[in-house]
Chain A
Amino acid sequence: MYLFSLRGLLVAIFSNWLYPCFLALIVFIIPSSERPVYLAIFAVSSLIASLILFKRFRTLSDTCRTSLRTVAQGYVELEGTAMTFLGETGPGPFYLPPTVWFCTPKQRSVDGFLVTDEYGSCTVDPQKAEIIAPLFNRQQHWYRAIHPGETVYILGQLTTLSRHYTDTDKRQATLHLLADWKKDHVEMLHRFDKNGNGKIDQHELMVARQAAEVVVDNNHDHEYRQSASHIVEQTTDGRPFIISSIPPDKLLKRYSFWMVAHIVTWLALSVLALLLG
């Protein structure tokens, strides 16, 4: 897991076997007279851990999934295939296979990449994201990476950039297009002079205007479905921005297991501290 935030760091520590091993080691090496105090402190830290994991568990389980067909705006879960931008090879040192994102002990990729599903694609800005990806080893180099073609799950703020489209914008675009059409009088007559009198009368002009409006709308729809129009990034309200190549079901199981484990640890250590103290 690549840890960007303190919250991400705490979640990683508290949902890992290293934490109980560390606790056991400390309890084992400290003198028995000081043990109850340490046990009480560890009990409190387990309570805090369970709260942190509860929040993470709820965030993951309660965020609704959208697709690039729906493109629901706001804080959403998105599933798709990771891809580099067209014509790009992806970031990374020479010893790495092609990646869309990587993290080595010395370097971390900040380049954006694409996530696609059957309906479209979306730009992902991995800066400030908490990235959950497996650890790999290649030519004696350890690294974490997301590879092209891998399925990724994203929790973040989905925004469509070209969403703002006012009536004035549309009217202007329609008038502009109509003016362009009028330049080619023969084509204009061919398309809209339905009564064949060699003129575009008021009624035919209205039909032409409607046709121009529809073309403007369709162009807008086309732009709306382009990858650059949708972006997933960090929220401004402090909710976590997570990019994971591990399925959310597995993460939920992991977090719920550790949440329960920490509650049990809190109660057990509290009782033990009172008995020994």
Chain B
Amino acid sequence: MNIGLIIFTSLIVAPFAWGIAIYNQLVTLKNNAKKSWSNIDILLKQRNSELPKLIDTCKQHMDYEQETLVRVIAARKNAEAALQSGDIQQLSSAEHSLENSLINLFSVVEDYPELKASDAFLRLQTRITSLEDSISDRREFYNESAATMNTRREQFPDNIVANIFNFEAFQLMEFQLSELNDVSVADAFKS
């Protein structure tokens, strides 16, 4: 048996074999990031479908807060449009505006004790808060998946394979500065 041939073949085959392993891993990471995005997408749709009910409930009691309600409606519309466009940066900003408008809405609820005590409002509050928490958790999971993919495509030797096969970076859902200051919808309810 020709030993030189065995060694030479293994030297030739090795880079290809490693290249294939890296390529397959990058494909897996890309699919993981896409899957984790679809995890958020489903919750955002659920939350967006709950908001009109909240607005309807608030409308019945809040006679002097039309501007606040209009802001929530507009922010929801923007968030819905951003979700459909698939632009993560636009969605991050739209979600941030929506969260702020909800915080405003819940802070003025204090002036309407009847609304605050209503069963329908309390249940919608619980439902939306729970959805917001889940969205926030899954956003972290998505960011982790996307960051893993982005790191790999920049690291050597993965970057060679990633450049040859045009693996694109995933955008992260950025956290706004104000979100880092423990401002949440749940807190707004409690105030």
A residues at B contact (CB < 8 Å): 36-37, 40-41, 43-44, 47, 51, 54-55, 58-59, 62-67, 69-70, 72-75, 191, 203, 206-207, 210-211, 213-215, 217-218, 221, 239, 266, 270, 273-274, 277
Pick the contact of A51 from B21, B28, B138, B148 — CB < 8 Å? B21
Q: A55–B137 contact, CB under 8 A? A: no
Shortest beta-carbon distance from A66 to chain B in Å: 6
Q: A207–B32 contact, CB under 8 A? A: no
Pick the contact of A62 from B10, B29, B57, B119 — CB < 8 Å? B29
Pick the contact of B3 from A191, A203, A206, A274 — CB < 8 Å? A274
Chain B residues with CB under 8 A of A203: 60
Chain A residues with CB under 8 A of B140: 70
Pick the contact of B17 from A41, A51, A66 — CB < 8 Å? A51
- B144 in the interface (beta carbon within 8 A): yes
Chain A residues with CB under 8 A of B189: none
Q: A64–B53 contact, CB under 8 A? A: no
Q: A55–B25 contact, CB under 8 A? A: yes
Those 4 A-B pairs whose CB atoms lie nearest each other, nearest first: A214-B123, A277-B3, A70-B137, A74-B35
Complex Cα–Cα for A221 and B36 (A): 20
Q: A211–B123 contact, CB under 8 A? A: yes
Complex Cα–Cα for A137 and B43 (A): 48
Query: Would you give the 0/1 interface string for B47-71, flagging 1 where the beta carbon is closer than 8 Å to chain A?
Result: 0000001001100100000000000
Q: B144–A69 contact, CB under 8 A? A: no
Chain A residues with CB under 8 A of B152: 62
Known: A210-B53, A270-B10. A64 touches B148 (CB 8 A): yes
Task: Identify 13 residue pairs between A and B in the complex whose beta-carbon atoms are under 8 Å apart, listed by A's number.
Answer: A43-B7, A51-B18, A62-B28, A70-B134, A74-B32, A207-B60, A210-B120, A214-B119, A218-B123, A266-B14, A270-B10, A273-B7, A274-B3
B residues at A contact (CB < 8 Å): 1, 3-4, 6-7, 10-11, 13-14, 17-18, 21, 24-25, 28-29, 32, 35-36, 39, 53, 56-57, 60, 118-120, 123-124, 126-127, 130, 133-134, 137-138, 140-141, 144-145, 148, 152
Given known contacts A40-B7, A64-B141, A211-B119, what 10 new A-B pairs fall within 8 Å (CB)?
A37-B3, A40-B1, A62-B148, A64-B148, A74-B39, A191-B119, A206-B56, A217-B123, A270-B10, A273-B6
Q: B57–A72 contact, CB under 8 A? A: no
Q: B21–A70 contact, CB under 8 A? A: no
Complex Cα–Cα for A69 and B36 (A): 15
Complex Cα–Cα for A206 and B60 (A): 11
Shortest beta-carbon distance from A75 to chain B in Å: 7
Pick the contact of B10 from A43, A70, A74, A221 — CB < 8 Å? A43
Pick the contact of B7 from A58, A217, A274 — CB < 8 Å? A274
Pick the contact of B120 from A73, A207, A218 — CB < 8 Å? A207
Chain B residues with CB under 8 A of A215: 123
Chain A residues with CB under 8 A of B18: 51, 54
Complex Cα–Cα for A214 and B35 (A): 29
Main secondary structure of the interface of A (DSSP, over half): helix
Pick the contact of A239 from B7, B28, B123 — CB < 8 Å? B28
Among A47, A55, A59, A74, chain B packs the most CB atoms within 10 A around the CB of: A74
Closest to A76 in B: B141
Complex Cα–Cα for A73 and B43 (A): 12
Known: A62-B29, A64-B141. A214 touches B148 (CB 8 A): no
Complex Cα–Cα for A206 and B13 (A): 70
Chain B residues with CB under 8 A of A43: 6-7, 10
Shortest beta-carbon distance from B31 to chain A in Å: 9
Closest to A69 in B: B137
Chain A residues with CB under 8 A of B21: 51, 54-55, 58
Known: A62-B29, A72-B141, A221-B130. A270 touches B1 (CB 8 A): no
Chain A residues with CB under 8 A of B24: 55
Shortest beta-carbon distance from A70 to chain B in Å: 4
Shortest beta-carbon distance from B126 to chain A in Å: 7
Q: A266–B120 contact, CB under 8 A? A: no
Chain B residues with CB under 8 A of A69: 133-134, 137
